[in-house]
Amino acid sequence: MHLFYTHIPKDFDATESLLKLPLALQKRLKQCPGKQARNRSFTAKILLAEVLAGKSGMSKVALLNRLVYDMLGKPELKGIPMFFSLSHAGNQVVCLTNEMDAVGVDIERNTHQINSSTAFFLSKIEQQKLSAENLGNTYLLKKWVQKEAVSKAIGKGLSLGFHTIESSGTYCFWRNEKFMTHEVNVHPDYYCYVAGKTGKTKPEVSEISFEKLLNNLI
């Protein structure tokens, strides 16, 4: 597993830059609800292209031409034997890759607030722990991020009822499957978790400058 991340400059606007992407992807990005969402989605795609183009032997644009989405909205690269997962929040964008099996990543601002009375994503055991130990928002938010990473590794994303995922430390369990998760520090203002099958080591972590991504797009 290898986690790559980048930071979007505050003054960036993807409106002109996205014209360098394949037409189908341009249309998809133009449907994003607002400038920030479009900037994040655009950056996620060029980060993915930067990371995988060299390994696939394809140009970045050619690789992005193979980007398709399943019925749940999960992206995949048609014909490219590489597993990946994308996430973004605020001005942070992350891309997790793996050659062996499916992985998942999620990132959220650590200031995001979750109401404990509506935390239906917790399992019964986790709800009991929340009440018994008087745990606060940090516990809730980290559980959410951890479980979303696992749900992406499973391949269901937000369509999966997170309460069906049982967590125990760095391990998570769903049906008969067992996942290893790791918290990764990419920025002090964010929580980020990666997930994969049990036995995987902690991911390598690499930052790629936004300027490099934008300048090397073509």
Residue 207 to residues 4, 53, 65, 93, 105: CA-CA distances in angstroms? 6, 17, 25, 10, 15
pLDDT-derived band at 5 (thresholds 50, 70, 90) equals very high
Nearest CA to 46 out of 9, 14, 70 is that of 14
When computed from its CA atoms, the radius of gyration of the chain, rounded to whole angstroms, is 17
pLDDT-derived band at 119 (thresholds 50, 70, 90) equals confident
Alpha-carbon distance of 160 to 200, in angstroms, equals 23
Q: Is the pLDDT of residue 218 over 70?
A: no
- Average pLDDT, integer, range 63-71: 91
DSSP state of 100: S
More confident residue, 129 or 205: 205
- Average pLDDT, integer, range 85-91: 96
For strand 104-109 and strand 166-168, is the pairing parallel, antiparallel, or unpaired? Answer: unpaired
Domain spanning 2-215, CATH class: alpha beta
Q: What percentage of residues in the chain have a pLDDT greater than 70?
A: 97
* DSSP structure string for 26-90: HHHHHTSSSHHHHHHHHHHHHHHHHHHHHHHTS-HHHHHTTEEE-TT--EEETT---EEEEEEET
Q: Is the pLDDT of residue 197 over 90?
A: no
- Average pLDDT, integer, range 1-5: 95
Identify the pLDDT of residue 186: 96
Q: Cβ-count burial of 57 within 10 angstroms (0-12 exposed, 13-18 middle, 19+ buried)?
A: exposed
pTM of the predicted structure, to 2 decimals: 0.92
Q: Is the pLDDT of residue 200 over 80?
A: no
What is the H or E stretch that residue 121 is in? none
Maximal CA-CA distance, the chain: 55
pLDDT-derived band at 116 (thresholds 50, 70, 90) equals confident
Site of tokens 């980290």? 142
Q: Where are the domains of the chain?
A: 2-215
Identify the pLDDT of residue 35: 94
- Average pLDDT, integer, range 75-91: 93
Beta bridge partners of 166: 173
Q: Cβ-count burial of 23 within 10 angstroms (0-12 exposed, 13-18 middle, 19+ buried)?
A: exposed
pLDDT-derived band at 198 (thresholds 50, 70, 90) equals low
Alpha-carbon distance of 27 to 88, in angstroms, equals 20
Alpha-carbon distance of 38 to 13, in angstroms, equals 9
Q: Is the pLDDT of residue 201 over 80?
A: no
**Each residue's pLDDT tens digit, 128-154:** 888 888 788 899 999 999 999 999 999
Q: Is the pLDDT of residue 189 over 70?
A: yes
